[in-house]
Amino acid sequence: TTENIFQIKNRLLTARSCQESYADVRRKPMEFEVGDKVMLKVSPGKGVIRFGKRGKLSLWYIRPFEIIEWIGTVAYKLELLEKLHGIHNTFHVSNLKKCLADGNLVIPLKEVQLDDKLHFIEEPVEIMD
């Protein structure tokens, strides 16, 4: 029986290493630095705080937050808004996504105008020759 147990353990180790190699192909190491902007993943599941919409239309990631501290090897502390003061500000790296947006390209919602058919009304910013 000890031989059977040894054989079962070896097979389990082999299966685990095979599965690990398949999973590692899709997994990317996530590393951020202090000062980077990241998006915070919010789960659209049951019993979880929702941000805005409900159900299928609920958000997956919310606004860019700045990383203020690196904790351990896989956790980061974020600078959250004042209205999110009830949420702990330390998050695992799997709940963060690098924010690739350029802050200079953001259009404030006040400046966006829609017509009666919900089409965007374009207005020239400057005339170029």
How does pLDDT run across 106-119, given as a tens digit for each residue?
A: 656 566 667 777 77
Q: What is the pLDDT of residue 8?
A: 95
Q: State the DSSP H helix or E strand holding residue 23, giving kind and residue range, or none if neither.
A: helix 2-26
Write down the pLDDT at residue 4.
93
124 within domain boundaries: no
Identify whether 97 is part of a domain.
Answer: yes
Residue 44 belongs to what domain range? 37-103
pLDDT digits (tens, 9 = 90+) for 23-68: 778 777 777 888 888 888 776 555 555 555 566 666 677 778 888 9
Bridge partner residues of 62 (DSSP):
40
Report if residue 110 sits inside a domain. Answer: no
Domain-embedded: residue 92: yes
Domains contained in the chain, number? 1
Q: Looking at residue 33, what is its pLDDT?
A: 83
Residue 98 lies in a domain: yes
The answer on pLDDT for 89 being more than 80 is yes
Q: Tokens standing for 42?
A: 């919010």
Instruction: Assess if residue 128 is contained within a domain.
Output: no
DSSP for 68-107 reads: EEEETTTEEEEE--GGGTTS-SEEEGGGEEE----GGGPP
